[in-house]
Amino acid sequence: MSDLGEPASPCISVCALDANDICMGCYRSAQEITDWWMASAKEKQDILARCEERRQADSPIRLL
């Protein structure tokens, strides 16, 4: 995402944290959610990369 502006928030309005403080909807940590609005575009890209890693590592079926 170079020079494409600010990444959009990954929030999908499924706001519930699991036992590890990871959102079950967007896979951001509680700290990443808090930091999102003040993060630079690069920091947001880094957060999104970590979210994708968590999503891929998660079970294909997740019970809410």
Is the pTM for the entire model greater than 0.85?
A: no
Q: Per the structure, how many domains does the chain have?
A: 1
Residue 16 lies in a domain: no
d(CA 16, CA 20): 11
Residue 40 lies in a domain: yes
pLDDT in tens, 5-63: 899 999 999 999 999 999 999 999 999 999 999 999 999 999 999 999 999 998 665 55
Sign of CA dihedral 6, 8, 10, 16: positive
Domain that residue 47 falls in: 32-56
Break the chain down into helix, strand, coil percent, rounded to 5: 40, 5, 55
pLDDT at res. 63: 55
